[in-house]
């Protein structure tokens, strides 16, 4: 039984790295890649994280409370990003790492979900693991695209490695420690708010600035539709 979640963690790592390497190969078309990435990030928030938070909440958390956590995630990330922008040299040092770091934390949470789910029930573990695998390629694309937009190719490669390791580390942590189930729903809602800000307020404007043609907007819509289909298939 221990080998199954570890195998899923390894598969998640490979899928994430594959997605990131694909984004690196397409870096010369960064405008349209960012457009697709914006849609994917928004789709993850709307069709993956929010529904998952509602499912995990059960009777513990009312819907309005979870939406409040989503608002806190969005508003908190916005304030942190803008506060860093006011610090001298922050934009050239570690502000540009904020978005990729949040994506890596999300991948860590995915791995945690797999590890914890297999502790609770094998069937639930398989379901969550398959759902994670369906969007791990997109996670790699998102991490590289955001890094390329804010930093450089070297930074993108470093963050891709971190994001590749994050699911496996999450699985190991999920198998070793017990996180209160009641805290998983608000954490997912919090990440949903963060992803909404990253997608709508960072990636969409950057993609349009790099390529103002209609195809960039259509690429964003395609990313949203893609994640709607992927999450529907996964669940």
pLDDT tens digits, 131-151: 677 667 777 777 887 777 666
What distance in Å separates the CA atoms of residue 207 and residue 95, rounded to the nearest whole number?
Answer: 19
What distance in Å separates the CA atoms of residue 58 and residue 97, rounded to the nearest whole number?
Answer: 35
pLDDT of residue 177: 75
Indicate the number of domains in the chain.
Answer: 1
* % of the chain surpassing 90 pLDDT: 13
pLDDT of residue 150: 64
What distance in Å separates the CA atoms of residue 125 and residue 119, rounded to the nearest whole number?
Answer: 8
Among 112-116, 187-191, 211-215, the range scoring the smallest mean pLDDT is 112-116
What distance in Å separates the CA atoms of residue 196 and residue 45, rounded to the nearest whole number?
Answer: 6
pLDDT at 162 over 60: yes
pLDDT at 179 over 70: no
**Could you list the residue range(s) of the whole structural domain that residue 224 is in?**
3-234
Give the pTM.
0.71
What distance in Å separates the CA atoms of residue 100 and residue 162, rounded to the nearest whole number?
Answer: 9
Ramachandran angles phi, psi of 91, nearest 5°:
-65, -25
Among 69-78, 82-91, 194-203, 218-227, the range scoring the smallest mean pLDDT is 82-91
Band of pLDDT at residue 93, cut at 50, 70 and 90: low
């Amino acid at each position: 039984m221990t080998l199954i979640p570890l195998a899923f963690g390894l598969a998640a790592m490979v899928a994430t790295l594959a997605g990131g390497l694909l984004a690196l190969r397409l870096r010369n078309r960064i405008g349209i890649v960012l457009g697709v990435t914006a849609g994917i990030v928004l789709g993850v928030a709307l069709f993956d994280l929010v529904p998952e938070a509602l499912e995990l909440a059960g009777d513990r958390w009312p819907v309005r409370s979870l939406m409040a956590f989503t608002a806190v995630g969005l508003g908190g990330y916005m304030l942190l990003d803008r506060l860093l922008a006011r610090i001298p040299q922050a934009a050239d040092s570690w502000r540009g790492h904020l978005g990729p770091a949040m994506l890596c934390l999300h991948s860590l949470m995915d791995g945690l979900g797999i590890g914890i789910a297999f502790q609770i029930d094998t069937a639930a573990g398989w379901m969550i693991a398959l759902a994670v695998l369906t969007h791990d390629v997109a996670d790699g694309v998102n991490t590289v695209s955001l890094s390329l937009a804010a930093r450089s190719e070297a930074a993108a490669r470093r963050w891709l490695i971190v994001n590749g390791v994050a699911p496996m580390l999450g699985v190991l942590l999920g198998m070793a420690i017990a996180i209160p189930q009641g805290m998983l729903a608000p954490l997912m809602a919090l990440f949903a708010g963060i992803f909404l800000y990253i997608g709508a307020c960072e990636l969409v404007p950057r993609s349009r600035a790099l390529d103002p043609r209609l195809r960039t907007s259509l690429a964003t819509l395609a990313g949203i539709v893609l994640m709607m289909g992927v999450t529907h298939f996964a669940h």
